[in-house]
Amino acid sequence: MAKLKIDLHLNSLQRQGSFEMILPNDMPNESGRPLKTVFHLHGYTGKAESWVPEELVAKYNIAVVSPNGENSFYLNGLSSGHNFASLVGEELVDYVRKTFGIAQRPEDTYIMGISMGGFGALRTALAYPEVFGKAAGMSAALIVHDIAHMKEGDSNPMANYAYYRECFGDLETVEESRNNPETLVKELKAAGKKLPEIYMCCGTEDFLIENNRAFHRFLQEQDVPHQYFESPGIHDGKFWTEYAPKVIEWMFGE
């Protein structure tokens, strides 16, 4: 199992940066499968890392790309050099395509994430359906409706108005913006475009459970096929350790 940390200049962020990568290229490919790729997005306050079990990396012959999204929600922020949506959906995809010859087609390129990264995975795949064929959000922080209409000086237990405005833009109109995954679903459907396949899971004791249920209901109302699961659990590594293998099986086990 080859583990790489790649340092490079990132045009999206206008500075030096890095991402991590796992490649199963130091062992025989007993599965006979061509190499496929999953982008793995970390959560709020997290770092570039993978929750994908190494035995499944080998079993399904997959590369795992783990960018550092900081606390960006994987969106293009208002400030220069905060283009994290472009980083994941364009720049890193282009880099691994040219450098490693992988992630050439949406059916070979998937994306998953936890918490903030779960939001990022769903939103990024909907924003770049020509890149990502499947997306999985574990305990996804689908908070757009919670932060809509916040005013300067407002805050919640996670962050303040200034932070959310930097990430999501105008909070008066965020629900109608392309930073809302619901908007992207409606756009794709109206254009008659293919949506990525979607998988969602959340613990029943997770503080984000109602947010996930609401997006699940939205997808049902929009007649968007998707997989949705709940089971006992809170917003923690125990739940993600349980579901990360299930996500990989769903993505690559066909």
Residue 2 has phi, psi (to 5 degrees) of -90, 130
State the chain's mean pLDDT as an integer: 96
d(CA 217, CA 96): 35
Residue 32 confidence (pLDDT): 75
Torsion angle defined by CA atoms of residues 23, 29, 30 and 32, in that order, rounded to the nearest 10 degrees? 110
Residue 76 is given by DSSP the state: B
**What pTM, to 2 d.p., does this model score?**
0.97
Per-residue pLDDT of 109-128, as tens digits, reads: 999 999 999 999 999 999 99
Stretch 85-90: mean pLDDT, rounded? 98
- The structure tokens 């619901």 sit at 182
- The structure tokens 């459907």 sit at 189
Count CB-CB contacts under 10 A for residue 15.
9
Per-residue pLDDT of 9-48, as tens digits, reads: 999 999 999 999 999 986 667 667 889 999 999 999 999 9
More confident residue, 218 or 25: 218
Report whether pLDDT(184) > 70: yes
Per-residue pLDDT of 137-177, as tens digits, reads: 999 999 999 999 999 999 999 999 999 999 999 999 999 99
Residue 30 confidence (pLDDT): 66
% of residues, the chain, pLDDT over 70: 98
Residues in the chain: 254
Rounded to the nearest 5 degrees, what angle is found at the Cα of 207, between the Cα atoms of 206 and 210?
95
Contact predicate 116/69, CB 8 Å: yes
d(CA 126, CA 134): 10
